[in-house]
């Protein structure tokens, strides 16, 4: 196995004078199947095409884009595994200090709006060479979209970039079909029929085509944008989708062809068993490598697609809701390859995908007829037709941990807890707890307010409490001291300040302070972003409260870390604003203490009654408590939420395992 050419010298070693395709990537070159550029390039190579990579080119001129010479068929351009604006900026629009997809994590290796900049430079280098856009940035911006950083609607990236074609979604089959069309001599602008592509047309006369509201309408009426999003959302699965057209001018339409069918199990096996080196290119060694490879290098992708339907997730728009999984034999072969790596320590870090335990289609009819247009598989509760059988996944995990050289197999990509609870028995959860949790299980309840959870299209908080109870019962059964790390989102559409206070109360009652919290980030292509821009749920027409002021967003986020001294004033302001000054005081049920605590009569009275001295401190001394575990009841509190009580993780204490 060898890397694809990154220089003229590499081309000479292969005896190549000219490449068929030059792939421009916003990420560093990592030849691993977790990186989109690696999969597409290896796929084209498998079909006989000569492909080279220019990773993170100098975008200040066109010179670096000529490094591999003029490609015979096309430039392929991607901003990388993450949208370039998300990669560069936090939700508060501050420049990020690291880029995990760049050498040594150094930022600034790619431009803002990378697809647009890279296309301009490629056209400048060789103006007659077609440009095909792909990857998450192009996929999620394929139609008119709300751009959080400009705070306005932007046109389809196909037009703003002046590229020729967009390959959206997972592009293995699409790119081969485009390559074959180009190789046969068809001009790129005339390749307008391939599934999984977005193209420009002067006229649209296909009777099946659905016309979305035009761009001018969208800019004038936010409800038209909600209508457009609703049509796109319900037309995103291959079996029954039709072309969609968005008009920009009298003779200019952006047309999305129906998506490609989901890859079969055999096709997915072939993709992931291509001859990847599974390493970053040696040219990055002097920088310490590429940080993004660390977590995925010894992980296995078991499944694609997700029918979870979370409103804030772009997977529905990019990978789709129909799942496809690899065979056990293929995954076992890959695991055996990993054990032969010199730096393999015996641990497979993950066996999963968007949702680890979605190994099977949601139901029998999904592969043939697609997902239901008017209801979800799991929201508001699991569909009665949902297949919740985990037996195949359990068998896979057993076989993987029996491989010579494998010490442990972990599941870290996230478990959908409502789906696990819907299974007829506890076999999966028992297997998970006994063998596949690294002391801490990551789950994503996202919030505790049922109103917010409804808009997120997540299960009610009672379902999460039930799961925590079950998880703790199983750990007790096997005498295992394991924790759970729940992830929460602040400032999601529908989340009022009162909801954020409710979440803070929940965390306080359970003696849990999260290491990290996420403020809602309005990225292109998600249902939640449409809510954020329009103030409406596009699927129901319901008006939605939007916490869009910077001050409120900061208060909601601060409430999740109410114990931190630097958040004191924001938390106090939020409690006063919501009329919850009852949460300011002394005792375990309070979020913050009055300042200065030593000078108040209330503090003295509290201590005189036998109160805990640590509760008089403004930071409460709880920064180390980062895990849920019902058995560690260090606080004498009758919890408001009876099914969980949390204690801190003691890193020096080894997890007991049978």
pLDDT at 281: 98
Number of domains in the chain: 1
d(CA 637, CA 524): 43
Question: Is residue 78 in some structural domain?
Answer: yes
Question: Is residue 521 in some structural domain?
Answer: no
Residues of the chain with pLDDT > 90: what percent? 80
pLDDT at 261: 92
pLDDT at 641: 34
Q: What is the mean pLDDT of residues 404-408?
A: 97
Q: What is the mean pLDDT of residues 157-171?
A: 97
d(CA 566, CA 576): 17
pLDDT at 477: 95
pLDDT at 206: 83
pLDDT at 568: 96
17 upstream amide cis, omega within 30 of 0: no
> Which ranges of 6-127 does DSSP label H, i.e. alpha helix?
8-13, 36-46, 84-88, 114-125
Global confidence as pTM = 0.90
pLDDT at 323: 92
Residue 627 pLDDT > 60: no
When pLDDT is cut at 50, 70 and 90, the band that residue 483 belongs to is confident
pLDDT at 188: 97
145 upstream amide cis, omega within 30 of 0: no
Helix 265-272 with 328-339: angle, nearest 10 deg: 10
pLDDT at 170: 94
**Collapsing DSSP states into helix, strand and coil, what is residue 145?**
strand
Question: Is residue 362 in some structural domain?
Answer: no
Q: Average pLDDT over the chain, rounded to whole?
A: 90
d(CA 254, CA 144): 9
- Residue 362, both tokens: 């949601």
pLDDT at 628: 56
Q: What is the mean pLDDT of residues 497-523?
A: 90
Residue 173 neighbours by CB under 8 Å, 6+ apart: 195, 196, 260, 261, 263, 267
pLDDT at 622: 43
pLDDT at 457: 96
pLDDT at 610: 72
- Which residue, chain included where needed, has tokens 């919030």? 447
Question: Is residue 606 in some structural domain?
Answer: no
Following DSSP, what letter does each residue of 442-487 receive, concatenated?
A: EEEEE-S-HHHHHHHT---HHHHHHHHHHHHHHHHHTT---EEEEE
Nearest to residue 305, comparing CAs of 353, 351, 346, 365?
353
Nearest to residue 278, comparing CAs of 31, 43, 100?
31
The CATH number given to whatever domain includes residue 33 is: 3.40.50.280
pLDDT at 404: 97
pLDDT at 298: 97
Q: What is the mean pLDDT of residues 131-157?
A: 97
- Residue 326, both tokens: 């690899």
Q: Is the dihedral of CA 470, 472, 478, 480 positive or negative?
A: positive
Task: Find which of 123-132, 350-359, 377-386, 623-632 is predicted with most confidence, using mean pLDDT.
Answer: 123-132
Q: What is the mean pLDDT of residues 421-440?
A: 93
**Contact of 25 with 54, CB cutoff 8 Å:** yes
Selected residue with higher pLDDT from 366 and 304: 304
pLDDT digits (tens, 9 = 90+) for 325-350: 999 999 999 999 999 999 999 999 99
Lowest mean pLDDT among 297-306, 519-528, 588-597: 588-597
d(CA 380, CA 383): 9
pLDDT at 346: 97
d(CA 367, CA 238): 9
d(CA 585, CA 605): 11
pLDDT digits (tens, 9 = 90+) for 183-215: 999 999 999 999 999 999 999 988 899 999 999
Question: Is residue 381 in some structural domain?
Answer: no
Q: Which domain holds residue 172?
A: 8-198
pLDDT at 607: 67
**Collapsing DSSP states into helix, strand and coil, what is residue 597?**
helix
Q: What is the mean pLDDT of residues 126-141?
A: 97
Q: How many residues does the chain have?
A: 658
Strands annotated E in 309-439: 324-325, 347-348, 350-352, 408-409
CB neighbours of residue 185 within 10 Å: 6
Give the end-to-end CA distance of the chain in Å, rounded to a whole number: 40
Following DSSP, what letter does each residue of 404-450 receive, concatenated?
A: TT--EE---S---HHHHHHSSSSHHHHHHHHHS--SEEEEEEE-S-H
pLDDT at 601: 67
Residue 371 pLDDT > 90: no
pLDDT at 647: 33
pLDDT at 616: 61
When pLDDT is cut at 50, 70 and 90, the band that residue 239 belongs to is confident
Max Cα distance, the chain (Å) = 88
Residue 656 neighbours by CB under 8 Å, 6+ apart: 479, 480, 481
Helix 497-509 with 550-560: angle, nearest 10 deg: 10
Question: Is residue 453 in some structural domain?
Answer: no
Lowest mean pLDDT among 179-193, 392-406, 579-593, 640-654: 640-654
Question: Is residue 108 in some structural domain?
Answer: yes
pLDDT at 38: 98
**Collapsing DSSP states into helix, strand and coil, what is residue 322?**
coil
Residue 448 pLDDT > 50: yes
Q: Is the dihedral of CA 630, 631, 637, 642 positive or negative?
A: positive
Residue 124 neighbours by CB under 8 Å, 6+ apart: 62, 65
d(CA 653, CA 656): 9
pLDDT digits (tens, 9 = 90+) for 603-619: 667 666 777 666 665 44
Question: Is residue 104 in some structural domain?
Answer: yes
């Amino acid at each position: 196995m060898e890397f694809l050419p990154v220089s003229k010298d590499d081309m000479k070693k292969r005896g190549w004078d000219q490449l068929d395709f030059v792939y421009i990537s916003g990420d560093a070159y990592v030849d691993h199947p977790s990186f989109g550029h690696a999969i597409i390039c290896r796929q084209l190579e498998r079909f006989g095409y000569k492909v080279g990579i220019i990773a993170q080119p100098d975008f200040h001129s066109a010179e670096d884009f000529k490094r591999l010479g003029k490609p015979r068929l096309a430039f392929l351009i991607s901003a990388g595994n993450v949208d370039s604006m998300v990669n560069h900026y936090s939700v508060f629009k501050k420049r990020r200090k690291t880029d995990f997809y760049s050498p040594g994590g150094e930022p600034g290796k790619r431009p803002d709006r990378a697809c647009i900049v890279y296309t301009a430079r490629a056209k400048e280098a060789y103006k007659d060479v077609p440009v095909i856009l792909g990857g998450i940035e192009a996929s999620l911006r394929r139609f008119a979209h709300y751009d959080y950083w400009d705070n306005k609607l932007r046109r389809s990236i196909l037009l703003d970039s002046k590229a020729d074609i967009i390959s959206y979604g997972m592009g293995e089959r699409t790119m081969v079909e485009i390559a074959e069309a180009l190789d046969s001599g068809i001009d790129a602008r005339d390749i307008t029929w391939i599934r999984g592509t977005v193209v420009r047309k002067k006229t649209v006369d296909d009777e099946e085509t659905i016309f979305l509201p035009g761009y001018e309408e969208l800019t004038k009426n936010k409800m038209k944008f909600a209508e457009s999003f609703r049509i796109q959302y319900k037309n995103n699965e291959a079996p029954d989708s039709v072309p969609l057209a968005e008009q920009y001018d009298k003779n200019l339409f952006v047309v999305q062809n129906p998506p490609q069918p989901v890859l079969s199990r055999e096709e997915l096996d072939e993709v992931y068993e291509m001859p990847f080196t599974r390493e970053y290119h040696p040219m990055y060694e002097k920088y310490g490598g590429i940080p993004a490879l660390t977590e995925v290098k010894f992980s296995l992708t078991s499944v694609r697609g997700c029918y979870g339907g979370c409103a804030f997730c772009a997977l529905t728009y990019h990978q789709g809701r129909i799942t496809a999984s690899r065979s056990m034999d293929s995954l076992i072969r890959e695991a055996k390859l990993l054990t032969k790596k010199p730096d393999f320590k015996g641990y497979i870090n993950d066996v999963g995908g968007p949702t680890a335990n979605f190994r099977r289609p949601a139901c029998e009819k999904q592969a043939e007829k697609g997902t239901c247009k008017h209801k979800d598989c799991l929201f508001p509760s699991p569909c009665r037709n949902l297949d919740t059988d985990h037996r195949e996944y359990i068998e896979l995990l057993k076989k993987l941990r029996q491989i010579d050289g494998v010490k442990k197999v972990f599941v870290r990509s996230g478990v959908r807890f409502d789906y696990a609870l819907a299974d007829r028995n506890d076999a999966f959860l028992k297997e998970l707890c006994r063998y596949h949790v690294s002391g801490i299980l990551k789950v994503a309840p996202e919030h505790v307010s049922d109103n917010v959870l409804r808009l997120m299209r997540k299960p009610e908080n009672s379902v999460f409490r039930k799961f925590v109870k079950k998880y703790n019962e199983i750990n007790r059964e096997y005498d295992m001291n394991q924790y759970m790390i729940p992830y929460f989102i602040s400032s999601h559409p529908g989340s009022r300040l009162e909801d954020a206070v409710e979440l803070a109360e929940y965390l306080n009652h359970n003696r849990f302070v999260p290491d990290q919290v996420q403020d809602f980030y309005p990225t292109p292509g998600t249902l939640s972003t449409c809510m954020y821009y329009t103030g409406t749920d596009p699927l129901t027409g319901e008006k939605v409260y939007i916490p869009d002021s910077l001050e409120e967003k900061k208060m909601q986020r601060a409430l999740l870390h109410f114990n931190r001294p630097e958040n004191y004033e924001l938390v106090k302001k939020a409690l006063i604003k919501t009329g919850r000054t009852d949460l300011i005081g002394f005792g375990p049920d309070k979020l913050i203490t009055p300042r200065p605590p030593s000078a108040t009569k209330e503090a003295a009275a509290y201590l005189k009654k036998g109160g805990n001295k640590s509760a008089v401190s403004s930071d409460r001394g709880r920064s180390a408590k980062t895990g849920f575990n019902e058995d560690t009841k260090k606080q004498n509190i009758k919890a408001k939420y009876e099914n969980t009580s949390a204690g801190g993780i003691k890193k020096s204490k080894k997890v007991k395992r049978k």
